[in-house]
A and B are shown apart, each in its own frame.
Chain A
């Protein structure tokens, strides 16, 4: 009897404990994908926008938020003009979970096809997270014939696949960069480091996935052609959780710069903390979301100072004084969601993609896929991420580092202290957005 009473007591304690945790967590529940227009002023049947993506990743989660924000704005103004009526956008979502290292591409494809068959979207935005999934999904999109405006997956293999049968794959568009673009931006930053500070040895580690292979490949080629000494060039599995071998190699090889390309939050977070813990005396540069996100100082610590990151395209998480549209978008985002996007990439593309789609529908005057594709090909849109026009041969948005009035653009920034001693992200490249210059850490002088 005593045992039973004790057992009941324990169960009660456990249930109460878990209830307290659950209630406390409700205060910060994740954003639910159900946008409601600010004003229900729109008429007509909704135009369905599908968002099949990996909501586990900040890119998918914040991309969806950006889409919802854009949809809310468009619907608040009455919706999209189609013939004589105005029609609202309606967002339908499926979590493909393709950003999770253990998810097979086949499972992600099944989730995507379920969305297509059940929700019958007129178009898809954001789309696949993992590049491998994007390539696999191209046939699916071609089979069901609806426009897909991808804004996350970065592999240049997309263009290669597209060119194999442009007529078949014509429904696919990429509204964001491919990973060779941030690779090019990073290479330019390395040029500055070499020219201004005489740095010359580099260790590169990257996630062993398509987009990061392409990204790191561009950086490696640039380094080889410009006299950098390569201390190491290592691929890590996407599920890796220990980077001490690479960091040790960089340290023993006296690398002055460590370049990293990674997008899985877990691994990138562990790397960031490990880099700080192991006190590697090398300047960190690359795409490591936990060290580049607005909340990096809280997550990693003040050691983020001097680390350099590329944000692609502009407006993903860093407001740029010289590009007011980035400020405007991020202010709206923060007003609605109480915080800036976490990921320093692609959110602005997700936002722009909805407006690009809306204008294409209005130009086409139809939701018929082939007409919509023809209208999308004529896109010339000045958005948050720069001027978006599609390459006719590959349906990818054109990006460069020259002029945001001509193409889409990205930005390189460095964590520096402001006059009050607060760590802030200072844009350092290209010149048309720069608000400061790259600084060398005192321990490297």
Chain B
């Protein structure tokens, strides 16, 4: 039972790590390698608002999500606009921006046990005899709610429909008046805000430091590669495969092998089906 409960929680955490990365890539084809850095930048931002400016948590957290979203938007127009369409250059720019953010945080001394966000609610309950804290339940609830809200957003709002149009065919979307840079920047803003939202609910589970940014990026990449970079359903399946794989590895082989699971999954998928289990971008090339 504990395998089921903690496997599910771990999987949802992985899905939260990945959803922003996958959304941005799915809409604009932009692989945001600064994703992990934006995640941990959120933690730093909330901590600063709480401890330096003494804002209440209910203001600090949403404000940080909005700021990080705006940051993603600005990064697109300032750093990415001129290299747009050159995949390798986009990757280098976002990766460099991510490393710069993480090293800046490290330089500012963002490590040590004082950097910890408070739990939303203390205490816990039992599910099927397995003790689970309320914070993890909030993480699970957020993950499920996010899937529903994202579905409604992309199917029933003008921006969401424009996102889908861009994701399906950029040139056709352009021909009906959807401006690609505008949608591209919005997709990066949304992806960044989603990374930030994940940080808001997951970071209180532990203490924070900039190195977490690398870990989140690796997990997001692993899940996205396994599921298919642009596929939402693939992202969910990938999260559960890696999440349960990790918990099972810890239980049956040994905890130190947990870290191997995402890396092994990446290698296996790249060797067998490079576009990922649900990916379509490169399916044609693979067949040829």
Q: Give the interface of A toward B (CB within 8 A).
A: 3, 7, 10-11, 13-14, 17, 20-21, 24-25, 27-30, 56, 58, 61, 100-102, 205, 208, 234-237, 239-246, 248-249, 251-252, 265-266, 269-270, 273-274, 277-280, 289-290, 293, 295-296, 298-299, 301, 342
Contacts and interface: CB of A to CB of B under 8 A. Distances in A.
B206 A235 contact: no
A13 B206 CA distance: 30
Contacts of A266: 111, 206-207, 209, 211-212
B153 interface: no
Contact of A279 (B44, B131, B247): B131
A280 to B, nearest CB: 8
A49 B102 CA distance: 30
A273 B250 contact: no
Contacts of A25: 48, 52, 108
Contacts, number: 145
Among all A-B residue pairs, the 10 with the closest Cβ atoms: A269-B207, A270-B206, A30-B109, A24-B52, A245-B250, A277-B133, A248-B2, A290-B113, A244-B6, A235-B256
B211 A102 contact: yes
Given A242-B246, A273-B206, A279 B124 contact: yes
11 contacts: A14-B70, A14-B74, A21-B45, A24-B52, A234-B254, A266-B211, A277-B135, A278-B131, A278-B132, A279-B133, A295-B114
Given A25-B108, A279-B131, A274 B206 contact: yes
B284 interface: no
Contacts of B255: 205, 234-237, 240, 243, 245-246
B246 A100 contact: no
Interface centre among A7, A61, A245 (most CB of B within 10 A): A245
Interface of B: 2, 6, 9-10, 44-45, 48-49, 52-53, 67, 70-71, 73-74, 77-78, 106, 108-109, 111-114, 116, 119, 122, 124, 130-133, 135-136, 182, 205-207, 209, 211-212, 214-215, 246-247, 250-251, 254-256, 258-259
A359 to B, nearest CB: 33
Contact of B52 (A27, A61, A301): A27
Nearest to A32: B109
A205 B215 CA distance: 22
Given A30-B109, A270-B205, A277-B124, 20 more contacts: A13-B70, A14-B70, A29-B109, A58-B112, A102-B211, A236-B258, A237-B259, A242-B250, A248-B251, A266-B111, A266-B212, A270-B207, A274-B205, A277-B119, A277-B205, A279-B124, A293-B113, A295-B114, A301-B122, A342-B113
B250 to A, nearest CB: 3
Interface centre among B70, B111, B113, B250 (most CB of A within 10 A): B113
B100 to A, nearest CB: 13
Contacts of B130: 248
Contact of B254 (A13, A235, A273, A277): A235
B113 A289 contact: yes
A239 B131 contact: no
B250 A265 contact: no
Contacts of A14: 67, 70-71, 74
A100 B215 CA distance: 12
A56 B106 contact: yes
A273 to B, nearest CB: 5
B48 A21 contact: yes
A28 B256 CA distance: 36
A250 to B, nearest CB: 11
A10 B70 contact: yes
Contacts of A56: 106, 111, 209
B211 A299 contact: no
A14 to B, nearest CB: 5
Contacts of A17: 67
Contact of A237 (B2, B116, B211, B256): B256
A277 B71 CA distance: 33
A342 B10 contact: no
Nearest to B77: A7
A290 B182 CA distance: 45
Given A235-B255, A273-B205, A290-B113, A241 B215 contact: yes
